[in-house]
Amino acid sequence: MSYDGLRSLLPKNDLLGFAVLALLLVVVLPLSLDIFRLNLVGKYLTYAFVALGLVLCWGYGGILSLGQGVFFGLGGYAMAMFLKLEASSPENTAIQSTPGIPDFMDWNQITELPWFWEPFNSLIFTVLAIVIIPSIFAYIIGVAMFKRRVGGVYFAIITQAVAAILTILIIGQQGYTGGVNGITDLRTLKGWDIRTDEAKYAFYFLCVFMLFVCLFIAQYVRKSKLGRLLVAMREMEDRVRFSGYDVSNFKIFVFCLGSAFAAIGGAMFTLQVGFMSPTFVGIVPSIEMVIFCAVGGRLSILGAVYGTLVVNWAKTTFSESFPELWLFAMGALFIAVVMAFPNGLAGLYNKYAAHHVEKLLGKKKGQSPDAKATVGTQGVAHERQ
């Protein structure tokens, strides 16, 4: 990309935001936190992938999906299946009645590796599957819904039902999926032990790197004509349709993109946390992921990352010291972010801090709040079904 292209993709304000985030994630946090805490931050960041996808779908496209946990889970399970197969080599599982298959299958009297597990022996297939399977799944849902002009709350309820279905299926089919415990006891990646501190550092930086890749893609979408069209559609879908655009295709695309982000997050989660279970797939985690996005500001892609970090940090701190208060705090957060701060942290930043920052940078005052802020306030006030 040429220099001019880069400048239009990342105007000065956004560049500063990206740089600050990069500094925080790449330099400040790894130097100031021990590996346990850094691993936690890495785990939180995997949710930021989902929140980022939701910014595009919900904030820009006006499509609220309450089933992002499905895609997070699909990505996470794909990764976990590969690692589990590697951990279940015939030597490691010699004590089982059928060596060479994952332990939970053996416990459930399954004697042969199911066909859909077979391809996950290959790392290349797994990496492709992490992105492609959830995208195809999202594409099917998207085509079925958006081509028929189903949107708004109906879409939210149906995606929620999909999340419920997948959770029940995973828990019910214990022999094929590990059931409610999920896929646990993952050990090595191509012979490299993933449980060491060294591996945890490596995965943290890999996660940050992937997050920035996704952030740049999101920024590209936001600045492109597609981003403008998404906003236009959210504000007044019929006018966009009458202007000759096929509205549903844009929605399907952004929904698939969001689900691919979520799936990458899920795979990163498995790598860093070392297991995957249906608790990250269902309705409750899916709605929690929406709140990460809402707290960060539903129109701000960087806000999604900060929102996720802040909410999860609060969750960990609260549940360590006052486990009972956490649900109250979480509930209050949902209500507050909807009623009082619909633009989240990014909205607060634009309102109170942005002009100070600009003053510090020695800019003229008149130029201040960029298009994002203006679009933001209107966007939330005019949200339609």
Residues in the site for another protein, rule: CB under 8 A? 58, 64, 66, 144-145, 148-150, 152-154, 156-158, 160-162, 164-165, 168-169, 171-172, 283-284, 287, 290-291, 294, 324, 327-328, 330-335, 337-339, 342, 380-381, 383, 385
Least separation in angstroms between residue 86's CB and another protein is 29
Least separation in angstroms between residue 144's CB and another protein is 4
Cβ pair 138, 256 in contact under 8 A: yes
Cβ pair 294, 68 in contact under 8 A: no
Least separation in angstroms between residue 293's CB and another protein is 10
Say how far apart CA 127 and CA 307 lie, in whole Å: 28
Say how far apart CA 85 and CA 140 lie, in whole Å: 29
For the chain, how many helices (H) and strands (E)? 19, 2
Q: Which residues contact residue 13 at a Cβ distance below 8 angstroms, ignoring those fewer than 6 apart?
A: 370
- Which residue lies nearer to another protein by CB, 236 or 332? 332
- Which residue lies nearer to another protein by CB, 131 or 287? 287
Q: Which residues contact residue 203 at a Cβ distance below 8 angstroms, ignoring those fewer than 6 apart?
A: 42, 194, 268, 271, 272
- Which residue lies nearer to another protein by CB, 32 or 385? 385
Comparing C-alpha atoms, which of 257, 251, 262 is closest to residue 142? 251
- Which residue lies nearer to another protein by CB, 262 or 289? 289
- Which residue lies nearer to another protein by CB, 272 or 312? 312
Least separation in angstroms between residue 344's CB and another protein is 12
Instruction: Give the chain's radius of gyration (CA, Å).
Output: 21
Least separation in angstroms between residue 231's CB and another protein is 16
List for the chain the helix, strand, coil content (%; round to 5): 75, 0, 25
Q: Which residues contact residue 329 at a Cβ distance below 8 angstroms, ignoring those fewer than 6 apart?
A: 314, 318
- Which residue lies nearer to another protein by CB, 79 or 299? 299
Least separation in angstroms between residue 165's CB and another protein is 5
CA torsion angle 58 62 64 69 (round to 10):
-40
- Which residue type is seen at 153? V
- Which residue lies nearer to another protein by CB, 110 or 150? 150
Least separation in angstroms between residue 303's CB and another protein is 16
